[in-house]
Amino acid sequence: MIIGIGNDICDIRRIEQTLERFGDRFTDRVFTTTEKTRAERRANRAATYAKRFAAKEACAKALGTGVPRRGVYWVDMGVVNRPSGQPTMSLTGGAADRLSELTPAGMTAQIDVTITDEYPLAHVFVLISAVPATQT
């Protein structure tokens, strides 16, 4: 069952300008340590940051909150990769609390993310679904 969808498009040039102007002030406020480490290893770090920025926006839309609203902040949402390489979101703090509110009893939330870019744009789609909780 789908419990939230969101998409976002981000202009990579805007992130390039923001990185030039604000540097660490911007990245420390918006991105997780894992995201910053990954982006700083990339030749085109602005595109990496833009994709993750768009993912956060899309995830906040899927959560029905926006950022920063209802206790959901930028660093509460981080793009991580499953062992297969497929992207997903790791939620903490207010974002995790909101996801818990949305997830029906007896179900587990699953977050699917698709990320793409074609300079100068980055686009992300986030689908949050509730699947039956597995018995262990």
Q: At what angle do helices 45-63 and 33-40 cross, to 10 degrees?
A: 150
35 is an annotated ligand-binding site residue: no
57 is an annotated ligand-binding site residue: yes
Residue 18 DSSP class: H
* DSSP letters for 50-95: HHHHHHHHHHHHHHT--TTBTTB-GGGEEEEE-TTS-EEEEE-HHH
- The annotated binding site is made up of 8, 57
- The annotated binding site for Mg(2+) is made up of 8, 57
